[in-house]
Chains A and B, each alone.
Chain A
């Protein structure tokens, strides 16, 4: 990879007048290092360092009281990992996170794709207006959204139950119900995030030439068949991209339960991120980092699997 790239840039540079090539290369490299330096320093200190640091910490019994002396702690091997994985509450949090991702990601993508098709094929007038409006929730703070949605979902005078009341449905106390709390968080996540996947689907749809659909039409395929057998396969990479980015985001969901349910009722909306944060709050830094690393490994594995599943066939 290195060789190829260097050769390419070399070939391009050949257009420049010859003479003093040596000095130019060194000057170029010197300038490059000056330009790269601030990033490298900040990156080492605040990203690479902490990534390695948390890996190390996850094998120690570091606690809040060791904050000032992080190197005087004891190694505990895989103790934290064993403790996390055998912890009932952590398992519950892992189950909840899986629930949130497995239901939430496909739902978000379906809504996003539906909206994208609607805008691309159906809505020609005011298309830009619709697009911007659907995207609005994406740019807003999840915390603020969660605060608003708590009122939308409030049992007696919330927006949702009032609207349901018009059609004769007596809505439950969404966030206080073990059954309904998680679906409520998922609904909110879909509402907030479908816009970002929609924008990417739209770009994907607009990249498909008109002739593809026309060919299908000539062959007598109906709209659904054209979508299912012509458009959808061509969107594979776009779906993959959305699936991966949504999956990574949803696996870390945190603000929603923090603001709306505090993880309740009875831990039914406690996420891995939130449990990790709670352990951090209790001062169990070693345990918290081991949980974060488990989450990280899951994110990496899930991403890898998604690539495999959608790449092949």
Chain B
């Protein structure tokens, strides 16, 4: 018992290592440019200022980027919840020709990196006239093999008796899916929804390629381009920008973290 103190010491040191950069970011976002350049650095802001956030929201167009990120993430999440649960149910519970082939196909694409597809995807989307548009940002991500797999696994765990009972009652096949089975998958939908939202919010390569004018940037694209462009030296602005990117997902994760870790358990170990 007495020997456990050093275990907690290691644990707490780990916490400090994880938390320090985040705290540094939040505190830094309230410092003036002069203070950010000071050697040695300060920990607490000397004269806390909201100037960086003022700049972010008034000079830089961050409200717009925030809305773009939110719109894209919500649309992508809605698409995944709808379409992945539909096909997940069919793969788990309905008999039809080609079911196994379809499932194998889905699993095979789990491994394909976004790097492989983005060039022809760019050609395709551009030729469809969707470059630099919301549909161009959203459409390629409306379904994901991960989502299909997660929903299929969950549907497999639900009893067939419910379906049979529905059939006896004369409910249509689609009615059974929508009214009897789908409501039972709420935990899986919560997991999929949160993971998809987080993934879309943080997605970088595709929005970087397809959002060509500033009014279509998502937050990560805007932050990356600010940090490598002419604002590279505007430390306060970048810190505040990072806060705007990171804090919403941290809050969301903390509120729903049970669903996230459970989803990893469902898909990771089965």
Question: In whole Å, how far is B82's beta carbon from the nearest beta carbon of chain A?
Answer: 8
Which A residues lie within 8 Å of B160 (CB)?
Answer: 12-13, 15
Which A residues lie within 8 Å of B219 (CB)?
Answer: 141
Q: Is the CB of A200 within 8 A of B269?
A: yes
Question: In whole Å, how far is A78's beta carbon from the nearest beta carbon of chain B?
Answer: 17
Give the size category of B's interface with A: 35 or more
When each residue 74-103 of chain B gets 1 if its CB lies under 8 Å from chain A and 0 otherwise, what string results?
000000001110110111001111011010
Which B residues lie within 8 Å of A49 (CB)?
Answer: 120, 124
List the A residue with the shortest CB-CB distance to B113: A252
List the B residue with the shortest CB-CB distance to A295: B115
- Out of A28, A38, A51, A122, name the residue touching B11 (CB < 8 Å): A122
Which A residues lie within 8 Å of B242 (CB)?
Answer: 144, 147-148
Give the size category of A's interface with B: 35 or more
When each residue 105-134 of chain B gets 1 if its CB lies under 8 Å from chain A and 0 otherwise, what string results?
110010111111111111110110000000
Q: Is the CB of B245 within 8 A of A292?
A: no
8 A Cβ contacts from B143-181 to A:
143, 148, 160-161, 164, 167-168, 172-174, 177
Given contacts A118-B7, A254-B205, contact A42 B142 (CB under 8 A): yes
8 A Cβ contacts from A147-169 to B:
147-152, 156-159, 162, 165
Q: Is the CB of B164 within 8 A of A15?
A: yes
A293 to B116, CA, bound (A): 6
Question: In whole Å, how far is B34's beta carbon from the nearest beta carbon of chain A?
Answer: 12
Q: Is the CB of B238 within 8 A of A28?
A: no
- Out of A27, A143, A159, A165, name the residue touching B220 (CB < 8 Å): A143
Q: Is the CB of B86 within 8 A of A67?
A: no
Q: Is the CB of B119 within 8 A of A204?
A: no
Which B residues lie within 8 Å of A51 (CB)?
Answer: 109, 112, 116-117
- Out of A9, A35, A296, name the residue touching B113 (CB < 8 Å): A296
Comparing B44-52, B56-64, B183-191, B248-256, the segment that makes contact with chain A is B248-256
Which A residues lie within 8 Å of B205 (CB)?
Answer: 254, 277
Given contacts A42-B83, A203-B265, contact A28 B96 (CB under 8 A): yes
Given contacts A141-B201, A142-B204, contact A255 B124 (CB under 8 A): no
Q: Is the CB of A151 within 8 A of B250?
A: no
List the A residue with the shortest CB-CB distance to B253: A139
Q: Is A70 an interface residue (CB 8 A)?
A: yes
* Chain B residues proximal to chain A, CB less than 8 Å: 4, 7-8, 10-11, 14-15, 17-22, 24-25, 28, 36-41, 82-84, 86-87, 89-91, 94-97, 99-100, 102, 105-106, 109, 111-124, 126-127, 139-140, 142-143, 148, 160-161, 164, 167-168, 172-174, 177, 198, 201-202, 204-205, 209, 219-220, 223-224, 227-228, 235, 238-239, 241-242, 245-246, 249-250, 253-254, 257, 260-261, 264-265, 268-269
| Residue contacts A-B, CB under 8 angstroms, 20 given | A2-B100, A5-B99, A28-B95, A31-B90, A31-B172, A36-B91, A40-B102, A46-B124, A54-B117, A70-B123, A130-B15, A136-B250, A140-B245, A141-B223, A159-B20, A159-B21, A162-B41, A289-B116, A289-B119, A289-B120
* Chain A residues proximal to chain B, CB less than 8 Å: 1-2, 5-6, 9-10, 12-13, 15-17, 24-25, 27-36, 38-40, 42-43, 45-51, 53-54, 57, 62, 67-68, 70, 115, 118-119, 122-123, 130-137, 139-152, 156-159, 162, 165, 191, 196, 199-200, 203-204, 207, 238, 241, 248, 251-252, 254-255, 258-259, 262, 273, 276-277, 280, 285, 288-289, 292-293, 295-296, 299-300, 303
